[in-house]
A and B are shown apart, each in its own frame.
Chain A
Amino acid sequence: DTAVSQTPKYLVTQMGNDKSIKCEQNLGHDTMYWYKQDSKKFLKIMFSYNNKELIINETVPNRFSPKSPDKAHLNLHINSLELGDSAVYFCASSPRQTNTEAFFGQGTRLTVV
């Protein structure tokens, strides 16, 4: 009965590889997000989708491409991975765009070696 689930939980890969992180929510929410948490624990929004439509696209390298096949799923694909991409990536969802909290997944710890 997990609300927001991400896979994988851990991902270790070499520089230059392409990888994907998957996210699914079973809460019936309209809005989904990707956040990045760096080594100093700072959390920053990367992308936000509302009903499969991209509504927030922060200053993120275009090697990062989100895809939302339906409103319950938001995947993150990363091309040509770099050392600086190492971080914890959190997926989240909320019932609507504003006036509400976000529900977070457990995170995916990405380590690029």
Chain B
Amino acid sequence: AQSVTQLDSQVPVFEEAPVELRCNYSSSVSVYLFWYVQYPNQGLQLLLKYLSGSTLVESINGFEAEFNKSQTSFHLRKPSVHISDTAEYFCAVSEGTGRRALTFGSGTRLQVQP
């Protein structure tokens, strides 16, 4: 069965500093990987996804994530964060066969401080 681990429940960081949010997954088959962002009292919005091809994927607002099959990781990074990036970030995995629904990690609260 697939599972997702986000080791950091909270990540405080100062504005304009770089940040990395860690995500590791466990699966016995090929996977598709996603990062979602949830702002307070809102639904989840897709930030970026890895389905196939280049292992480095980018979002329109400066985030990037790299799929590392050997380390079963999909860490999210941003070189310079803004106050507006403060939110809850969820890593999710979907297997190519079988269950086919998203399995989410427990989330990481990114708190950007001025």
Contact = CB atoms under 8 A, between A and B. Distances in A.
Contact of A105 (B34, B43, B101, B104): B43
B13 interface: no
Contacts of A98: 32, 94-97, 100
14 contacts: A41-B38, A43-B107, A45-B101, A55-B100, A97-B100, A98-B32, A98-B95, A98-B100, A99-B32, A99-B94, A101-B34, A101-B46, A103-B46, A106-B42
Say which size band chain B's interface belongs to: 20 to 34
A100 B36 CA distance: 13
A25 interface: no
A101 B101 CA distance: 10
Given A41-B88, A99-B96, A48 B101 contact: yes
B44 A104 contact: yes
B107 A42 contact: yes
Contact of A33 (B32, B36, B90, B101): B101
B40 to A, nearest CB: 11
A102 interface: yes
Interface in A55-105: 55-56, 90, 92, 97-105
A56 B101 contact: yes
Contact of A102 (B96, B102, B106): B102
Contact of B104 (A43, A101, A106): A43
Nearest to A102: B102
Contacts of A99: 32, 51, 94, 96
Nearest to B94: A98
Contact of B44 (A42, A48, A55, A90): A90
B49 interface: yes
